[in-house]
Amino acid sequence: MTAVCRLLDSQRVLGRGVLRVSRGAGDWGWRGWQAGGWCHVLLRCVVLSVVGLVCLSGVLSADEETRDRRHRQLRERRTVILEGLEQDLQALQSWCQDRGLTEAITELQSLQQDIRSDTEDPELPRLVVPDAGTSLSSDDQVFQQRLQKLRTARAAEIYTLARSALRAGFPSLAFDLIADVVRIDPDHKFARSVLGQEQFNDPARRDDPTYAGEWVSAFEKQMRSGAKPQVWHPQFGWVIAANLTRYENGQRPWKGDWISSEKEGELRREFRNAWEIPSEHFLVKTNVSLEAGVQLSTKLEIFHAWLQQNFAAFFETPKSLQERFEKAGRPSSARRTRPMEVHYYATRDEYQKRVQGKVPANIETNGLYWQPDRTCYFYRNPEKQDLSTLFHEATHQILDVATADARRVAARARAAKLRQRQADEWILCQNSNFWLIEGLACYFESFETDDEGHVTLGNPQYIRFETAWQRMLDPAYQFYLPAQQFFALGKEQFQSHPQISPLYTQAAGYAHFLMHYEDGLYRDDLIELLAQVYRPEADQLLVEPSFSRIAEVGWSQLDQQYRDHMQNLEAAAR
């Protein structure tokens, strides 16, 4: 059984020559090393390996050039289409100015602002665009017709480009382009279908002439339909619509009756009576407050949605991704899975009692994902109001739960290949790539979302990344393990390494590098490595995943590119 905990770098540089010492928790393990062999055999192997690497480096260089060029061409084509759209909108805006259509000008400026948005996850329009009314003036009608024609034409170009990006092996870029399609043409039904959204018409708004429907997930559509439709409230979560007034008046349901919210607060102080906040993918249990639980639930769903869209190639195979595009527009047949549990305690003491026995007594943790019960545990820390711990542990939880069945199948298949009588547990990154497990979780600590659902990620000033570039560039605190050695570390080697804290820092730095370098050049390769680690393929069960092989890049080139990225990160942080 494995518990994954947080580990802070023990030294953070603040300014020049100032250290802050932090204490955290790391995983545990055992060290085992093997050595041996004959010298003349080793010498011969070294010679052959050098010759092979020289030949291979030329192949990788050529392949990498082709891949880089294709990625660059796709992004350049996107830029050309968006610039063309902006020119079209500028021309239409001039036409509106000549006719004094002030509302139309405001609409065009808002659309241009959305297109230029460089946020990590720009907000997508939710409402269906209503048909132009016959009561509009002739100029207004012409404007709406011309605008829709521009939207439809440019969105079609971007959608075609998204399919090309997927076929070229860049699913992350493909989904970025799908988001572009929806921003340009909110009612592009194929793009909406790729994102898992369906059109819903709220019966409560059937008499609203400005309302033509909205785009929602299949789960939300189900919740808001039926004999007892529910509504989502930002304080109370999902509530039966007929009961909403009672909630707003301070009443709460309790064992078939209604009591005051104050009385409910007293009863739920004991965690066995905790509030339970269900959502599409999570079940949050807390004795802090209903409002706190709903806030956590909301942010977890935003995080989950971001991962599903931006890490689509992790959650689905290349074949299923292609089918997702091919079947776009057809009704969804996806079944809802058992929600993941998150326990949020009011005090540290309650948390400590709950995780007792799950971590060694001498290890201090702020949060924990426990694989055996698929549950995240953490507590309200009055001295630390951010949700970095939540997103760290939720990363472990989401990735593990989504692929647990695949690893059980892989373990049985491996046992059959090795002719073992019983299948051993599949241990993630047992022999290599362990940095990835913690590096991504540390990276996602920087995930932030506001009340509107806008997402920011990878802030260069976040402590993990700031420490990473300081350790790379500051001679006084420098630590860097070359990429080939770093990626080769398995779980026990990583966890028992004498420099484990700097290794965590480098892991966070490498996650940032592979996510952001050259506009996400390596993002899909990182996701492919993650998929091979968490969801082993049947024909690769006895082969260690290699990032160099996946990305078709040499290790020395990665070393140089990582250094370059850290220098750029330092410049951005200052």
pLDDT of residue 451: 77
- Distance between CA atoms of residues 549 and 539, nearest Å: 16
Least confident piece of the model among 119-123, 275-279, 281-285, 302-306? 119-123
Count the neighbouring beta carbons within 10 Å of the beta carbon of residue 448.
17
Do the beta carbons of residue 497 and residue 489 sit within 8 Å? yes
Say yes or no to pLDDT of 569 above 50: yes
pLDDT of residue 4: 40
Per-residue exposure over 212-223, b if at least 16 CB sit within 10 Å of its own CB, e if not: ebbbbbbebbbb
Question: What backbone torsions phi and psi does residue 464 show, to the nearest 5 degrees?
Answer: -60, -45
Least confident piece of the model among 34-48, 166-180, 223-237, 468-482? 34-48
- Distance between CA atoms of residues 548 and 529, nearest Å: 10
Say yes or no to pLDDT of 286 above 50: yes
* Global pTM value: 0.81
Say yes or no to pLDDT of 9 above 60: no
Average pLDDT over residues 164-192: 92
Question: What backbone torsions phi and psi does residue 410 show, to the nearest 5 degrees?
Answer: -65, -40
pLDDT of residue 130: 85
Q: Which residues pair with 282 in a beta bridge?
A: 340
Q: Look at 83 and 29; give whichever has higher pLDDT.
A: 83
Average pLDDT over residues 398-407: 95
Tell me the pLDDT band of 333, cut-offs 50, 70 and 90: low
Tell me the pLDDT band of 23, cut-offs 50, 70 and 90: very low
pLDDT of residue 505: 97
Tell me the pLDDT band of 136, cut-offs 50, 70 and 90: low
- Strand 257-260 and strand 251-254: pairing? antiparallel
pLDDT of residue 332: 66
- Distance between CA atoms of residues 107 and 93, nearest Å: 10
Least confident piece of the model among 27-41, 184-198, 230-244, 396-410? 27-41
Q: Look at 173 and 156; give whichever has higher pLDDT.
A: 156
pLDDT of residue 134: 59
Say yes or no to pLDDT of 212 above 80: yes
Tell me the pLDDT band of 63, cut-offs 50, 70 and 90: low
Least confident piece of the model among 111-120, 182-191, 408-417, 432-441? 111-120
Tell me the pLDDT band of 1, cut-offs 50, 70 and 90: very low
Say yes or no to pLDDT of 347 above 70: yes
Say yes or no to pLDDT of 10 above 50: no
pLDDT of residue 50: 41
pLDDT of residue 119: 54
Say yes or no to pLDDT of 64 above 80: no
Question: How far apart, in Å, do the first and last CA atoms of the chain sit?
Answer: 43
Least confident piece of the model among 15-24, 353-362, 549-558? 15-24
Of 417, 397, 302, the residue nearest 343 (C-alpha): 397
How many Å separate Cα 31 from the centre of its chain? Answer: 32
pLDDT of residue 446: 97
pLDDT tens figures, 373-398 = 999 999 999 888 889 999 999 999 99
Tell me the pLDDT band of 547, cut-offs 50, 70 and 90: very high
- Structural domains in the chain, CATH included, are 69-186 (no CATH), 268-573 (1.10.390)
Per-residue exposure over 178-206, b if at least 16 CB sit within 10 Å of its own CB, e if not: bbbbbbbbbbbebbbbbbbbbebeeeeee
Whole-Å CA distances, 252 to 14, 255, 511: 49, 10, 45
Average pLDDT over residues 50-54: 42
Specify the amino acid at residue 115.
I
pLDDT of residue 33: 30
pLDDT of residue 2: 40
HEC profile of 467-509: HHHHHHHCHHHCCCCCHHHHHHCCHHHHHCCCCHHHHHHHHHH
Average pLDDT over residues 408-426: 91
Say yes or no to pLDDT of 52 above 90: no
pLDDT of residue 137: 76
pLDDT tens figures, 459-515 = 999 999 999 999 999 999 999 999 999 999 999 999 999 999 999 999 999 999 999
Q: What is the DSSP letter of 364?
A: -
Tell me the pLDDT band of 329, cut-offs 50, 70 and 90: confident
Mean pLDDT of the chain: 86
pLDDT of residue 384: 82
